[in-house]
Amino acid sequence: MTIQKIAILGAGQMGNGIAHVCALSGYDILLHDVSADRIDSGLATITGNMTRQISSGRITEEQRETALDHISPAVTLEEVGTADLIIESATENEDVKRKIFESIAPHLADHTYLATNTSSISITRLAAATDRPERFMGVHFMNPVPVMELVELVRGIATDDETFFAMRDLVERLGKQSSTAEDFPAFIVNRILVPMINEAIYTLYEGVGTVECIDQAMRLGANHRMGPLQLADFIGLDTCLSIMQVLHDGLADTKYRPCPLLVKYVEAGWLGRKTKRGFYDYTGETPVPTR
């Protein structure tokens, strides 16, 4: 079946990024969230990001206008159910995601594919909350979606070949590269990346180095484009903590224990860039370390 219309559930950082790249590739997009304000905010972000792409010469004004014409707000689940593919991009919480899939089930056409943008949660368990586990799989985009080239494709135990090939073709049409991962906690990228970030937080927690020294050491000593604490703020400390908890619970290995300092920051509501405070304070013109 040819995918023409895609519904994105969640208009936040990841959801609006997915809508952005899919619209530029010619898909009709339905953007849904829990409120009209969140949808409007997502649409505003897409417009701003596409304007920056024009400034950098990556797209033309005509491409932007055409892409924006492909995106429509979808306030109701009945509208969402008309899509050929639905990509869930809600917060990294299994209960939230399961409830979303359960709520849309009555509105789906028989042919509709379901996908989740989860960065760590079991695809098989999420698929079990739906009426079509064979047409369900993980399609994990990297952040920021318009810039990053990789998409992880993760099959659940019931995912059929037709679904896998359809999602692989989608990734190719978006001009991105796919990497196939088995359905183990955090898949490939985050199983390697987030424990490294957690170890950097332990390094800060134990007083081995300051925020600035740790980030500088990894930028200059390991040739990383962004220091691990700066990257944690960009990802969201709540997301980092959720992934570490999934790893710790799913693999039962103490090496995945979340650093107590990470837990403390999340409890304080210091979640990184999105709250203007994490390992850096973003309220001024230049980020300032908070420790």
As annotated, the active-site residues are 119, 140, 152, 190
Residue-wise DSSP of 175-211? T-EEEEE-SSTTTTHHHHHHHHHHHHHHHHHTTSS-H
**Dihedrals φ, ψ of 131, to 5°?**
-95, 5
Looking at 220-265, which runs of residues are DSSP E strands? none
- Distance set, CA 105 to CA 81, 99, 165, 168 (Å): 8, 10, 23, 24
Within 8 A by CB and 6+ apart from 66, the residues are none
Phi/psi-derived region of residue 192, left when phi > 0, alpha when psi is between -120 and 50, beta in every other case:
alpha
